[in-house]
């Protein structure tokens, strides 16, 4: 079966650091993705991990442990505009393209 878990909601203060965890159990694995989605808008790509370890991209970092089925997204120096939902998604193997299994999303509220 396919199962991805994330916390439903998180709250943090402007300027702080927040870590959003994601655990997954999927039948196939061809990469783990994080997307940001502001209310009423489409998801936008944040990060991608296919090998174990940490990927850093400005204020955002993402970590993957394939053996543990675990990833996290780390957001540093939080800004008010970071208030959004953060979607963890696993890409299935597919010869013609790709299918994503998305988690429920974590709604992050950044407070002043």
Partner 1 sequence: DAGVTQSPTHLIKTRGQQVTLRCSPISGHKSVSWYQQVLGQGPQFIFQYYEKEERGRGNFPDRFSARQFPNYSSELNVNALLLGDSALYLCASFLGGAGDYGYTFGSGTRLTVV
Rounded to whole angstroms, how far apart are CA atoms 103 and 6? Answer: 7
Complex with partner 1: residue 29 or 100, whichever CB lies closer? 100
User: Closest separation between CB of residue 105 and partner 1, Å?
Assistant: 5
DSSP string, 23-87: EEE-S--S-EEEEEE-TTS--EEEEEESSSEEEEETTEEEEEETTTTEEEEEE-S--GGG-EEEE
Q: Which residue has the tokens 């402007």?
A: 14
Bridge partners of 25, per DSSP, are 3
User: Closest separation between CB of residue 45 and partner 1, Å?
Assistant: 6
User: Closest separation between CB of residue 87 and partner 1, Å?
Assistant: 5
Q: Which residues here bind partner 1, judged by CB under 8 A? A: 4, 31, 33, 40-45, 48, 87, 89, 91, 94-105
Joined tokens for residue 17:
């650091």
Complex with partner 1: residue 69 or 103, whichever CB lies closer? 103
Complex with partner 1: residue 44 or 79, whichever CB lies closer? 44
User: Closest separation between CB of residue 42 and partner 1, Å?
Assistant: 4
Complex with partner 1: residue 41 or 77, whichever CB lies closer? 41
């Amino acid at each position: 079966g396919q199962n991805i878990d994330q916390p439903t909601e998180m709250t943090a203060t402007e300027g702080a650091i927040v870590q959003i965890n994601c655990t997954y159990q999927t039948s196939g694995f061809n990469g783990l993705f994080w997307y940001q989605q502001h209310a009423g808008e489409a998801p936008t790509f944040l990060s991608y991990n296919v090998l174990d370890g940490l990927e850093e991209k400005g204020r955002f970092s993402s970590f993957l442990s394939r053996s543990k089925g675990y990833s996290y997204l780390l957001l540093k120096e939080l800004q008010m505009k970071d208030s959004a939902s953060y979607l963890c998604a696993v890409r299935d193997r597919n010869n013609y393209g790709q299918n994503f299994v998305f988690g429920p999303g974590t709604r992050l509220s950044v407070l002043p």
